[in-house]
Amino acid sequence: MRAGGFLYALQGATPNPPGDNSQFWRYDPRTGVWTTLAEHPRRQSGGGALAWAGGDIIYALSGASGKFWGYHIAADSWSSLADTPAPVQNGGCLAWAGGDFLYGMRGSDTTTFWRYSISANTWVGRAPVPEAPASGASLVWTGGDSLYATRGNGTRTFWRYDVSLNSWEVLPNATLNFDAGGGLAWDGGNWLYGVRGNNSPWAASYDLMAGSWPYLPDAPWDVGSGGGVAWLSGGLYLLRGQSTTHFGVYRPGFLPGRVYLPMVAGASE
């Protein structure tokens, strides 16, 4: 997840962890260095998600629970916030949509959708998601009045949520069957970028103006559970997941016909 000029990553569930906490890291693209930060207070599981609202706090849904946390960037510390109304499971997502509000999908094979007020520290229900999201679901704000979402669960289902109208629109299917480790990232302009997950290297981009899904070159390795994508400084950064430390960046070219440069692999095991 991007916050300011850095990327942040939260360790997922691992077998036989040394404790109940989860490791938390920051990546500086200018130096290529990862820094270990204060551990998250709770071990993560399916449905954990991060979102940044432009200030000093990174917000974190804790998978397999209703716990909600804030990471204070300047102090390098965590604090507990209001629990979600029900536990979050696989398919849980979180996104800022400008101003005072974050939006979240519960996942857990439910259509539950919430709005969180930063100032009031409260959750309220919003219009249900059209179908229950599961592993590979994602939720992305594109800077206006819209959030875009994938259902995951091995489907190509793709939606748009109108913030002002509190309504969902079913869009034409994506070209990828999003599943565990898959997700979307917005480049700050006209493009969404997505990876499929489900132990696959497939990737695609979505043209917000044209409503089409051009393919991208494959990732350098299969992406699976625990994978993630984020856009920063002109590149799509990608964690492989699957209990590996593989990390890479894809930098699209801006030549006629949308010609793309190859993926460049970053840190490895």
Mean pLDDT along residues 112-140: 97
Mean pLDDT along residues 43-61: 89
The H or E element spanning position 92 is none
Q: How many helices (H) and strands (E) does the chain have?
A: 0, 23
The length of the chain is 269
CB of 194 closer than 8 Å to CB of 174: yes
Neighbours of 9 (CB within 10 A): 20
CATH number for the domain whose boundaries are 1-167: 2.120.10.80
Q: Note the pLDDT tens digit of each residue in 153-174.
A: 999 999 999 999 999 999 999 9
Place of tokens 């497939």: 202
How far apart are alpha carbons 107 and 113 in whole angstroms? Answer: 9
Q: In terms of Cα–Cα distance, which of 76, 103, 83 is closest to 164?
A: 103
Q: Note the pLDDT tens digit of each residue in 185-238.
A: 999 999 999 999 989 989 999 999 999 998 788 888 888 888 889 999 889 999
- Sign of the C-alpha dihedral computed for residues 187, 191, 196 and 201 taken in this order: negative
Question: Does residue 266 carry a pLDDT above 80?
Answer: no
Neighbours of 89 (CB within 10 A): 20
Mean pLDDT along residues 33-39: 94
